[in-house]
A and B are shown apart, each in its own frame.
Chain A
Amino acid sequence: MASSTTTSAFPLVVAVDDSSAMRVFFEQAVAGLGVDLRTFPSAAAAAACLDTHQPALLFLDIIMPAKDGLTYLQELRLTSLHEKTQTIVVSSKDYAQDRASAKDLGVLEFVAKPITSRQLAELISRYTGARAIDESTRA
């Protein structure tokens, strides 16, 4: 019980990416960081979490089956919960037009793949303030 209370006190980070290898990169990035990471393979799957939670940081891929990440973000921005959710786009689709749409949607950064877990960890720390945690206090 104590540990779940501790965990939920960590900032929530959500990553939506259809690549399972990318989701592993996210897992590796947060190992040892004090964040609560949840990953989803599609916008539809992420809805279960994002309909009710505002993460401290949201990562979105662009090209996914069904809804693309920027269309999904456009929808999220219309809700009061996600009007200002801190969002980073991580995509292999790197065009000026997509960068401009992302900017219009208030995206903090637009990062082109490939990206490594080191670089993801840096971004997470920068925008959530999460730091490497001392394992002994992680009851």
Chain B
Amino acid sequence: MSENYLRFWGVRGSYASPQTDKLGVGGNTSCVEIRAGNHLLICDGGTGIIPLGDLLISESPTPETLIVFTHYHWDHICGLPFFQPAFSAEWKIRFFGPGQNVGDIEQRLSNQMKSPYFPIEIGSWAADIEYVKPIEGKIPHGPFDVSYHNVHHPGTTYGYRVEIAGKVIIYMPDNEIDFLRSSIAQRTDEFTEEEHQMIARIQREERDVELSGVRRADILIHDAQYTPEDYSKKRGWGHSCYVDVVNFAIDAEIKVLYLYHHDPGHNDVQIATIHQECLALVAERGSSLQIHVAREGAKIPL
């Protein structure tokens, strides 16, 4: 049990896609398991957390478990009501996510289990449940160093930075990169030359902040939901076009990028094409960035 690894349990964005032509990549929504010995960190509770829970329930002794949520859109929480360990008195589970205080986290996670949306409420959870408050911007969890930052997505949404065994992993399943650039491009006629210079400065600052949060990470798991064609129609929906993601990862000197939060409408062939196009972009820029498609079930040693 001293093994350290990361495993993808759900890689889809927006909603589950269990159609046969999509199962090579996987149909479950956001959930990533990161394991370090007896400490378990789960990022998001989309439908992928259900098979994870089914596997965990027979584990003994139960691991020290922390589940962090990026935000409370359905695709990130809807597996939680079916997460078996929460219903077992053997388990202790700690939760963290956006909110003003621990009461907010509890309320947002429990609302989806209220009548008439679900037959049982969180009162039926038998596990020892704790909603945690960050300490100086960090959530302590054994050997893990977990911190969070605000990202570009509707409603308060976090990205997580996880340090474990000397490796830095960034989890940003929902983030629209470079939103400001396209806003500026759309309104360019409104500004004087001097204002343009100031606006360019604001844009550079925003980019620098985004890059500094992830710079030189070993692994970046990032929203790559849209093709350029999708993005031209869905700009402002809170997700990124893979071209922007690849450029962002190269600029941030990331080692390995996992394309994540796949569009539920894209089948295995379309995602393989996106992957090829991403690799071509990397070659064009002469970068050493490695890019993989996040696939359900893939286990990466850390």
Contacts and interface: CB of A to CB of B under 8 A. Distances in A.
Contact of B184 (A68, A114, A117, A118): A114
Contact of B100 (A24, A75, A116): A75
B231 to A, nearest CB: 15
Interface string B176-210: 00011001100100111001001101110110010
Contacts of B155: 95, 97-98, 101
A137 B195 CA distance: 30
Contacts of A113: 180, 183, 202
A114 B191 CA distance: 10
Interface of A: 18-22, 24-25, 62-66, 68, 70-71, 74-75, 92-98, 101, 112-114, 116-118
Interface of B: 98-100, 137, 149-156, 179-180, 183-184, 187, 190-192, 195, 198-199, 201-203, 205-206, 209, 236, 238
Contacts of A101: 155
B205 A21 contact: yes
A114 B196 CA distance: 10
Contacts of B205: 19-21
Given A66-B137, A98-B155, A24 B198 contact: yes
Contacts, number: 73
A29 to B, nearest CB: 11
22 contacts: A20-B205, A21-B198, A21-B201, A25-B198, A25-B202, A62-B150, A63-B150, A63-B152, A64-B150, A65-B209, A66-B137, A71-B100, A92-B183, A94-B183, A95-B153, A95-B154, A95-B236, A95-B238, A97-B155, A101-B155, A114-B187, A116-B192
Contacts of B149: 65
Instruction: Name the residue in B150, B190, B198, B199 with the highest tally of chain A Cβ atoms < 10 Å from its Cβ.
Output: B150
Contact of A92 (B153, B180, B198): B180
A96 B155 CA distance: 9
Contacts of B183: 92, 94, 112-114
